[in-house]
Amino acid sequence: MRGVLIKILRETWLGTVLFSVALLLVELLLTLILPQILDQMDEMMARMPFMKDFVAALLGIDIEGEITAQLMQVFVWVHPTVLALLWANETMFCTRFPAGEIDRGTIDVLLGLPVSRRVIYFCETIGWVAGGALMIGAGAIGYAIGSQAMPLEGRPEWALVRLIMFNMFCLYIAVGGVVFLVSSLSERRGRAVFTVFGIVLASFLVNFLAQFWSPAEPFAFLSVIEYYRPANILKTGSLPVGDIAVLLAIGGIAWIAGCEITARRNICTT
């Protein structure tokens, strides 16, 4: 098991570090430009009232009255670039085994090691979870650096920021579990990545449409974004236990299913 973990670390550390640095820089830049965005927000909404609905959809809340500086802090955690970086990294990681190994024709070498498929799957999982923690931690560092330029009254308490980070990590677990399941059913890595991209895109679309189109509201629960609401954490000051439970259930069930499929499936490389 130790040898498998070392192999995984050697093959993935560079990509994980690069994605982490990218997320740190994105969070830093978003936090630095946030005051300028907030200064122009009221004027922009006065000229274009429909923009209020778009901002509400992005933040995942119903906006009543003036948008406060603390509420706009959510922007740096829900921005599509942030989520795209997080999901891109775990998609590349979680499709390594078995889809990536089958696609490269190296699955026979890997399965020839004196460890079971479940052990390999578990080792990949350790790397995936550690990589997610590293990325989100790097994002928090970028936010912490950028927020130093903001007035103290405009910053949320770090206790709330930690809750947002935990909610993001649970979202990471949910999506990663699904990616593992897709990979376990695939023989081509490209096909697995494309399938995950379609699932994530559909999730974004359902969540966005539900904000504006009433016929789509009953289907909002199908989107994982529905259970990632940093704005509600800032408003209530508490962790949304129900949303956390749903995200962990999605990730856990999909991960277990992927593990069993990988362990039991007939893998043919010829």
Position 269 in a domain: no
Residue 113 has pLDDT above 80, yes or no: yes
Cα(27)–Cα(21) distance, integer angstroms: 10
Per-residue model confidence as pLDDT tens digits over 54-95: 666 666 655 555 566 677 788 899 988 999 999 999 999 999
Residue-level pLDDT at 45 = 59
Give the 3-state secondary structure of residue 186: coil
Position 185 in a domain: yes
Q: Does residue 98 have a cis bond before it (omega within 30 degrees)? A: yes
Position 14 in a domain: yes
Residue-level pLDDT at 164 = 95
Residue 49 has pLDDT above 70, yes or no: no
Residue-level pLDDT at 47 = 65
The answer to whether 168 and 136 have CB atoms below 8 angstroms apart is: yes
Residue 269 has pLDDT above 70, yes or no: no
160 is in which domain, residue-wise? 2-264
The answer to whether 51 and 45 have CB atoms below 8 angstroms apart is: yes
Per-residue model confidence as pLDDT tens digits over 222-252: 999 999 989 889 888 899 999 999 999 999 9
Specify the pTM: 0.92
Position 270 in a domain: no
Smallest CA-to-CA distance from 12 within 113, 125, 99 is with 125
Radius of gyration (C-alpha) of the chain in whole angstroms: 20
Position 71 in a domain: yes
* Arithmetic mean of pLDDT over the chain: 89
Cα(89)–Cα(36) distance, integer angstroms: 30
Domain count for the chain, please give it: 1
Longest dimension (CA), the chain: 67
Position 49 in a domain: yes
Residue-level pLDDT at 58 = 62
Sign of CA dihedral 41, 233, 133, 58: negative
